[in-house]
Structure 1
Amino acid sequence: MSIYKRNFFELNTEEKEILQQYRELDSQVSIKGIVQRKNTVDLHMKMLELYRKGPFILNVNSYFPNNFLNDIELATKNADYNIKLEKFIELIDKDVNEREVLNFIRDNEAHFIIGSILCNHTLYGHHDRYIFQEFPLPPNHQADFLIVGRNSMGFHFLFIELENPSGKITLKDGAFGETIRKGIGQVNDWKHWLDKNFSTLINVFNKYKNPTENLPSEFYEYDSTRMEYVVIAGRRKDFNDKTYLLKRESAKNGIKIFHYDNIIDETKWLLKTCSY
C-alpha cells in the first residue's frame, strides 16, 4: 500500500549520513522546542537546509514513512509534479474509467493530486498527512483512498471514492445520475462498516506504521466526528444549479461530492502554494 516505488525504511549510505546530521541537530532542541543552545536561528536554519537536501527526513520521522505526503517535495519537485498534472488532465479528457485513473495515480506517484483536497476543503492535514491507496475495510469493502490528517485536535480520516470522469454522471435536470448515486451508496456501506468495525483497522495501520512510533488513540477509538467522506465523479460540465444544490445537501449529510475539475483546480493551487 506504499505510495512510493522506493522504501523509506531502507536508506542508502548518503541518506543515513544526512539523517544522522539531522538527529544531532534535533538532539540540541528539546521536545517542547526549548533550545538548549543560544544559537537558535542557526540551529533551525541548518535543519531547514537538511530538509531541502533530504526531504526524505520527513518521511523517516513520520508515523507512516511510505504513505507520507511530503510538502517539501511540492517545491523541490514542482516542475515534475506540474508535468504529472498535465498528463492527468490529458487522461481524464479521454473516455477513461475509475480503474484507469487509479492506475495512473499509482504508477506515476501522483497522490498529491488527491491530497490537494486538503488545501481548501478540510480543517486538518496541514500539520501532518498520509494517504493510502485502495485501503481495505475487510473483508468486503475497500476505499479507493484514505487520507489521514492531523490538526490541533488530533487525527481525522477522509475516505474517498473515485467514480468515472464521464458517463451517467447526472440526469438531464441535474439530479444525480447512476454514477454519483453508486458512489454515495458505496460510501454509505463504508459508514455502516466503520460504525461497527473501526477498531479492527489498527491491524491494517500496524502493517505500515513506523515501528519506532506509537499511534495515538484516534487510530484505536472510533469517533464518527473524525470521519469524512468524498465522492469524485464527472466533470464541471455535468453539474448545473440543481446538481450544486444536491451537492450542498449531500455535504450536510456527511458526504462531499466533487467533480474532477474541482480536483484539478485544487491541485493547481497546491502546486502554486506548495503547502497542503
Structure 2
Amino acid sequence: MNELIALINTDPEESTVQKFFEKHPASIIGTAYALSNTLIAKLPLGVDFVTDFTWVNPRSGPTYVYLIEIEKPSKSIFNKNDSFTQSFNHAYGQVEDWLGWYARNQDAFRDILVPLKSHNDLPPFFAVRGILIYGRDSELSNNRREERWVQKGLSNPFIEVRTYDGWAREKNNTIPPHDILSDYLSTVHYSNRSYINKDLQKVNI
C-alpha cells in the first residue's frame, strides 16, 4: 500500500489531499519530464477558474500541459440508478471549461507560463489536456457502472478520468514510500505574475 491509498482510506477532506500532492509533486507528475521540474498548485485561468494542479511536459513534438482537478475522495461517482451524480458531472464540466478557456486565451495562457521559462523557450501553442481524479474503485461495483466509467474516459480525447485508487496504482512508483524520483521536483503557486514556493519565496527558475 502506498501513502496515497493509506490517506484516502481515512476519508480526508479535499484540502488534505491537495496538501499531500503539493508535498509530493512526483505523485502527480510521475516519471515524466516537467518544465523547470515544477508542479504548479492553484493556477488561476483568468478571473473565473483555478486549477488544482498544472504542469508542463515538453516533448520532441508538441508541448503538453496538464490541468488537473481533484475532489474529496469520498464524493460519489454514481447515483443509485447508476447515472453519474450531479457533483461528478460538475467536476467534469469544470475541466471542460478550463479547456475552453485555453482555446479562447492561448496568448494569455502562454504569458502565465513565462515565469517558468523565457518567451523564447516556450512554444507558440500547447497541447492542453485535462485530468479529473474523482471517487473510489469501490463504486465501480457492477457492469453498467464499469461500462459508463470507461465510456466517460473515451467520450472526450482531451480529458482523462481516474479514480483515486486507479491514480495510486498508476503512480505507485512515485508515491511515498516509493518516491525515489521526487527530490528534483518542487511545487509552486502563481502570484502576481511570479511563482512562489511553499515558504512564500519567489522562485527564480
Runs of 4+ aligned residues of structure 1 deviating over 6 Å after TM superposition are none
User: Offset at 1:158?
Assistant: 1.4
If you compute each CA radius of gyration, which structure gives the higher value, 1 or 2? 1
Q: Secondary structure at the residue paired with 2:16? A: helix
CA distance in 1, matches of 2:68, 2:24: 15
**Contact preservation (8 Å) 2:114, 2:122:** no
Structure 1 partner of 2:153: 251
1:204 paired residue among 108, 112, 122: 112
* One-letter code aligned to 1:175: S
CA contact under 8 A between 1:164 and 1:179: conserved in structure 2? Answer: no
Measured in 2, the distance between the counterparts of 1:138 and 1:260 equals: 28
Q: Structure 1 CA distance, aligned partners of 2:33 and 2:69? A: 22
Gap regions ≥5 residues in structure 2: 183-205
| Aligned counterparts of 2:180 and 2:82: Cα–Cα separation in 1 | 35
Could you say if the C-alpha distance between residues 182 and 156 of structure 1 is closer, same or farther in structure 2, counting changes exceeding 3 Å? same
SS of 2:105's equivalent?
Answer: helix
Distance 1:256 1:235, change over 3 A: same
Q: Which has the higher contact order (CA 8 A, sep 6+)?
A: 2
1:184 aligns with 2:89: no
Which of 111, 122, 134 is matched with 1:216 structurally? 122
Alignment partner of 2:103 out of 187, 195, 199: 195
How many residue pairs match? The answer is 176
Deviations 1:16-56 (A, max 9, x none): xxxxxxxxxxxxxxxxxxxxxxxxxxxxxxxxxxxxxxxxx
Higher strand proportion: 2
- For residue 9 of structure 2, the aligned residue among 93, 113, 116 is 93
With over 3 angstroms needed to count, the CA separation of the structure-2 counterparts of 1:150 and 1:275, relative to structure 1, is farther
Q: Distance in 2 between matches of 1:165 and 1:256?
A: 17
The answer to whether 1:103 aligns with 2:7 is: no
Q: Which residue of 2 aligns with 1:133?
A: 41
- Other structure's SS at 2:57 match: strand
8 A Cα contact 2:75 2:134, kept in partner: no
The 5 A counterparts of 1:5-154 are 85-86=2-3, 88-106=4-22, 109-116=23-30, 125-126=32-33, 130-154=38-62
Contact 1:175 1:242 in 2 (8 A): no
Corresponding residue number in structure 2 for 1:267: 171
Write 1 or 2 for the structure with the bigger share of helix. 1
Alpha-carbon distance, 1:208 to partner: 3.5
Q: How big is the shift at 1:144?
A: 0.7
SS in 2 for 1:214: helix
Deviation at 1:103, TM superposition (A): 2.2
Residue 268 of structure 1: how far off its partner (Å): 1.7
Residues in 2 aligned to 1:162 and 1:127: alpha-carbon distance in whole angstroms:
19
What 5-or-longer segments of structure 1 have no aligned partner? 1-81, 120-124
CA RMSD of aligned residues (A): 2.8
1:239 aligns with 140
